Structure 1
Amino acid sequence: MSLFSFPVRVYIEDTDAGGIVYYVNYLKYMERARSEWLRQRNLTQQGLFDMGIQLVVHRLECRYIRPARLDDELEISVEVVEHSACRLSFHQRVTARGEPLCDANVDIACVESTQLKPVRWPSTLAAILRE
């Protein structure tokens, strides 16, 4: 699959007292980028909820390389590296001025909303993954 990129600017609310991005905010940036990756494919989190489906993080491995700072312009990349009937594995990277700041491997599971049991991708997303 092709690489998708989403821009983010660092605001004061994203930083600690020293003006450095608080570590958990990288995960929020990555979540936003995955949501926008879906949106670019004419799917939304709300649309999936309406179908009785949720996408949940099953596993996450993250490596912090260097800090982002107040007012930095970041690029958050999303790349599907593997998929199965109900799981997606993404590689994501946060960069500033082309320099890597954070790398993550994120596994997402597709689950039914009420029982939270794994289910197959909806046909629209399955078709996208087959491309």
Structure 2
Amino acid sequence: MWIYRCNETFADTQASVPSERKTEAFNEKNIFDLGACWPVEFATGLKYHSAQFGRQNGLMSEIHQLDIRVYYEDTDAGGIVYYANYLKFFERARTEWLRSLGVEQDSLLAQDVAFVVRKVLMENKAPARFNQRLTVKSEIRQLKKASMVFWQEIYNENADLLCSAEVSVACVKLSLMKASAIPRDILGVLSGGNGRTFCS
């Protein structure tokens, strides 16, 4: 269960938004410039194994964990995981995180909705090797009306940090491949059900 509280009132949040933005209607053109998010803190009983996780810009979210095994096909000629495959591990973790919340990708596709990666900032710190069991940790750092930012990390069995990434994801109307607001029911799930984790 996610326990949440608002850090600031809507009036305080609106005060930080330029006056011309207060009356600006949401549209597909401003998907990546939607103004300040309404910070909400999520308190959990989890112990954060990395200083990178936890509070970030006033937001604290529950960490999702996914264990995966490194197969031979994941490695390169040097016997270590090929760098691009970390992106696949991160993608699997985000998908399973959505599934754990009751959101299936095929149901989104049926609604002509898809999440696409807009930007990735990834840092490789140490190699993963064949047959190792890895743990991918994921959390939402920022949630807006039509986009979100994930922080993700991959650890080996010795709890060594191998790779980290900040992933910006946008919601699009699939048939048009244009930016679109995240469906309200999905947004409610992502925000922990309080319905007030963002502002325009």
Shorter-chain TM-score category?
over 0.9
Q: Which runs of 5+ in 1 are unaligned?
A: none
1:17 paired residue among 67, 77, 90: 77
1:99 paired residue among 134, 141, 160: 160
Aligned to 1:46: 106
Following superposition, the deviation at residue 98 of structure 1 comes to: 0.8
1:90 aligns with 2:150: yes
Q: Report the structure number with the largest CA radius of gyration.
A: 2
| SS of residue matched to 2:163 | strand
| SS of residue matched to 1:27 | helix
Aligned to 1:66: 126
Percent identity, aligned pairs only?
36
Deviations 1:11-44 (A, max 9, x none): 1000012210000000000000000000001111
Following superposition, the deviation at residue 45 of structure 1 comes to: 1.2
Greater share of residues in strand: 1
2:164 & 2:86 partners in 1: Cα distance? Answer: 10
| SS of residue matched to 2:178 | coil
Aligned to 1:125: 186
Task: Name the structure, 1 or 2, with higher relative contact order (CA <8 Å, separation 6+).
Answer: 1
1:24 & 1:124 partners in 2: Cα distance? Answer: 33
TM-score, with length taken from structure 1? 0.97
Following superposition, the deviation at residue 129 of structure 1 comes to: 2.7
Deviates more, 1:90-99 or 1:118-127: 118-127
1:46 & 1:58 partners in 2: Cα distance? Answer: 20
Aligned to 1:111: 172
Cα root mean square deviation, aligned? 0.8
Aligned to 1:2: 62
2:162 & 2:140 partners in 1: Cα distance? Answer: 20
Specify the code of the residue in structure 2 equivalent to 1:43. Answer: V
The total of aligned residue pairs comes to 131
1:71 & 1:129 partners in 2: Cα distance? Answer: 33
1:4 & 1:124 partners in 2: Cα distance? Answer: 20
Moved over 4 A (4+): none
Q: Which runs of 5+ in 2 are unaligned?
A: 1-60, 193-200
